[in-house]
Structure formats: structure tokens, C-alpha cells
């Protein structure tokens, strides 16, 4: 993926279409790997490939729905992976911070997708923004719990008591 991912540019020729299809497959694969929650090690390896994730989401505003949708799905998978990683202790917190930094960097493009002509892109960007807000709230709670635990005891807090609000029911 690192070698084959090309810049997202608008080209109407055959080579341009091949690049787009390859990029879309790579982005979809990255999103699926991030959704695979049974292997924290693989998530950490992928989350630490921030350059690859940054390049994979470079073209959110280049063209229409076919380009934007997989990139928004990747951002959504990153937000969910960041939320889950908080329960893995200190290494998970570091992973979550890296993913949140990338999500924050892509925030302006995600907000611009709210005015996209496609209803699907608008709905997906709303979902990504909701996930980002939820992740930030979890991060705040995690940091608050760590400081309270350190204040009250000598043990390091690993996030096992963290309360997660279900945004879909709210």
C-alpha cells in the first residue's frame, strides 16, 4: 500500500482512472484492517503508519462521491479504533493520540463534506464528526480518570473503569 498509493488528482484518461481504482481499493483495505478489532497489534502497526493514513485521505475534496466515500469510511474506522484503543492502557493511549491528531488535521475537509451534493457523503461526514466528538469526550474522561487515580493511589490506571456513552441511542 505504501508503494502503490498515488496522489489523488483529477485525470480523465485511462491511467488516471486506474490510479483512482487502485487508491480506492487501498483505502478500503486500510479501513477494513482498522475495523478488525481482534488483533490490537495489527491496529497499532497500522495506526503508527501515519504517513500512509495521511496520504490515503489526501483527496477528500478532489472529486465526487466515488473518491470521498472511501476516505470518509477510513476516517470513521480511525475514530472507532482510537476509541477502542483507550482500553489498552498506555500504548493504546499513544495510538489514540496519533489517530486523533490525524482526524483533527482532516477536520476542515470533513466539515466541507457536509455541503457535498451527495446525501450519502453528507451522512457519512456527519457520522465521522460525531465519532470525533465522541472520541474527544472519551479522551477527556480517560485523562481525568488517570489524574484522579494517580492522586488517590500509586497504581497506573489502564482505562478498565471507563464509561462509554452510546451515541446511537442518544
Q: Which domains does the chain have, with CATH numbers?
A: 14-152 (1.25.10)
Residues 170, 168: Cα–Cα separation, whole Å: 6
pLDDT of residue 165: 41
pLDDT digits (tens, 9 = 90+) for 59-109: 777 667 777 888 899 999 999 888 888 888 888 888 888 888 899 899 998
Enclosing H/E stretch for 24: helix 14-35
Would you say residue 139 has pLDDT above 90?
A: no
Angle at 164 between CA 159 and CA 170, to 5 degrees: 170
pLDDT of residue 1: 64
Would you say residue 145 has pLDDT above 50?
A: yes
pLDDT digits (tens, 9 = 90+) for 26-37: 888 889 888 876
| Whole-prediction pTM | 0.73
* DSSP for residue 59: T
Give me the mean pLDDT over the 159-167 stretch.
41
Residues 158, 72: Cα–Cα separation, whole Å: 30
Would you say residue 160 has pLDDT above 70?
A: no
Amino acid at each position: 500500500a505504501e508503494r502503490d498509493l498515488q496522489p489523488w488528482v483529477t485525470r480523465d484518461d485511462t491511467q488516471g482512472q486506474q490510479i483512482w481504482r487502485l487508491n480506492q481499493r487501498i483505502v478500503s483495505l486500510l479501513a477494513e484492517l482498522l475495523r478488525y478489532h481482534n488483533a490490537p497489534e495489527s491496529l497499532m502497526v497500522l495506526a503508527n503508519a501515519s504517513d500512509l493514513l495521511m496520504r490515503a485521505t489526501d483527496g477528500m475534496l478532489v472529486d465526487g462521491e466515488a473518491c470521498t466515500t472511501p476516505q470518509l469510511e477510513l476516517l470513521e474506522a480511525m475514530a472507532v479504533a482510537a476509541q477502542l484503543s483507550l482500553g489498552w492502557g498506555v500504548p493504546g493511549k499513544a495510538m489514540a493520540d496519533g489517530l486523533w491528531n490525524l482526524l483533527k488535521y482532516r477536520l476542515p475537509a470533513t466539515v466541507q463534506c457536509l455541503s457535498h451534493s451527495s446525501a450519502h457523503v453528507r451522512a457519512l461526514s456527519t457520522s465521522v464528526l460525531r465519532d470525533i466528538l465522541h472520541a474527544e469526550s472519551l479522551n477527556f474522561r480517560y485523562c481525568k480518570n488517570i489524574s484522579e487515580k494517580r492522586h488517590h493511589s500509586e497504581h497506573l490506571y489502564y482505562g478498565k473503569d471507563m464509561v462509554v456513552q452510546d451515541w446511537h441511542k442518544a
